[in-house]
Amino acid sequence: MPIADVKELRAAVDAAVEQVEITDVHTHLYTPCFGDMLLWGVDELLTYHYLVAEVFRWIDMPYDEFWSMSKKEQADLIWKTLFLENSPYSEACRGVLTVLNKLGLDVAKRDLEAYRQYFAGKTMEEYVDQVFELSRVKEVVMTNDPFDDNERKVWLESYKADPRFKAALRIDPLLNTWDQTWIKLKEWGYDVEEELSQTTLKEVRRFLSDWANRMQPVYMAVSLPPTFAFPENSTRAVLIEECVLPVCREFNIPLAMMIGVKKLVNPGLKLAGDSVGKGSIETVEYLCANHPYNKFMVTMLSRENQHELSVAARKFRNLMVFGCWWFLNNPSLVDEMTRMRFELLGVSVIPQHSDARVLDQLIYKWAHSRKVIADVLFDKYRDLMETGWQLEESEIRRDVHKLFSQNFWDFVNKKL
């Protein structure tokens, strides 16, 4: 039966978005076999780098003194400063409270020690199950860096697959710090030199193929500065052209480019010290046009890039726009960007990813994003109904499933 009125429409949209199981296409989470690399619990939530940057808006403490504190001491300071001495309505602060609330903890009591006791009674494995169930996330894509010694050791010696955690082969060191990275490759038995000879390029392809076979990644990924340009006379451009794109084609996986991060504009803040800059859409268009048999997933960090990126996606079937990344993951901007993307691209986008670095963040990032995306969808469907178009509830569920999961898998598996 067609949906009869806007009240019925609102209920249908809310139910579809609330109940859909999500594929989270970009996170920094790990399977439990990676041990302490999988972050979880209230102290990890409170010391998340968004909150570290925010607390330094208020405290005069030298950076080194803060970093010399224990995790618990840092969390105590952040809780006191951002939650007790100020109202915690920033998105990062609200997210902590959403997690605690969804877990059934009494947020009104403001009792950090009680929250710690709750997590102390959990094992990592049972908490992973709980978070996936609460967030209704069925699977996440990790960020897997073979250049990280701790992670590399797990992949080589003790990795245990979990179907809820998919791999993504992260290649930032390869493309952004080749002058240091080639030395590691040589130590690992690859016949490379700093100069990009044909032998070196062949060996880099072998390295990427070795890790693609080992990880079975759903895509290859790199975070890039706003100055990223292609084509250009640079080591990075040669490695992309001669190594990354051929291996992506061979394995039929996309290259996910996250463009616009300015690393360590304030080094004292460490991971919290990165900033944002406007990138080049011309670079994205060139790659899509000149490599039509490669697939590209792209998210950009600057708000100013979003309209051009959506227009580019109208022109290239091998380009998938995904998520509201990092500093854009705020409700007002998610709303703005999602409306614009839906108006330009219809259902053919991936509206959000969590970028979660702490397991618990799956709970709040998806709770908040579901609400915003449902509001936008309701408005778009209402616009349709005003034309006389009749909607079925099954069609809404179909679209929502595509947006939150199926679009990603269709793109990953697409053969161009």
- Tokens standing for residue 334: 């998610």
Q: What is the pLDDT along the chain (416 residues), one digit of tens a residue?
A: 899 999 999 999 999 999 999 999 999 999 999 999 999 999 999 999 999 999 999 999 999 999 999 999 999 999 999 999 999 999 999 999 999 999 999 999 999 999 999 999 999 999 999 999 999 999 999 999 999 999 999 999 999 999 999 999 999 999 999 999 999 999 999 999 999 999 999 999 999 999 999 999 999 999 999 999 999 999 999 999 999 999 999 999 999 999 999 999 999 999 999 999 999 999 999 999 999 999 999 999 999 999 999 999 999 999 999 999 999 999 999 999 999 999 999 999 999 999 999 999 999 999 999 999 999 999 999 999 999 999 999 999 999 999 999 999 999 999 98
Q: Which residues of 308-332 are buried (b: 16+ CB within 10 A; e: fewer)?
A: bbbebbeebebbbbbbbbbbbbbee
CA 131, CA 33: separation in Å to the nearest integer? Answer: 17
308: left (phi over 0), alpha (psi -120 to 50) or beta: alpha
pTM above 0.75, yes or no: yes
State the number of CA atoms in the 13 A half-sphere of 316 facing the CB: 27
- Asked whether 63 and 41 are in contact (CB, 8 A), the reply is no
The set of residues, in sequence order, having a beta carbon less than 8 Å from that of 20 and lying 6+ positions away, is 136, 397, 400, 401, 404, 405
Q: Nearest 5°: phi and psi at 215? A: -85, -30
Task: Look at residues 24, 39, 37 and name the one whose alpha carbon lies nearest to residue 165.
Answer: 24
Q: Cα angle at 175 between 169 and 179, to 5 degrees?
A: 125
As its CATH architecture, domain 6-413 has: Alpha-Beta Barrel (3.20)
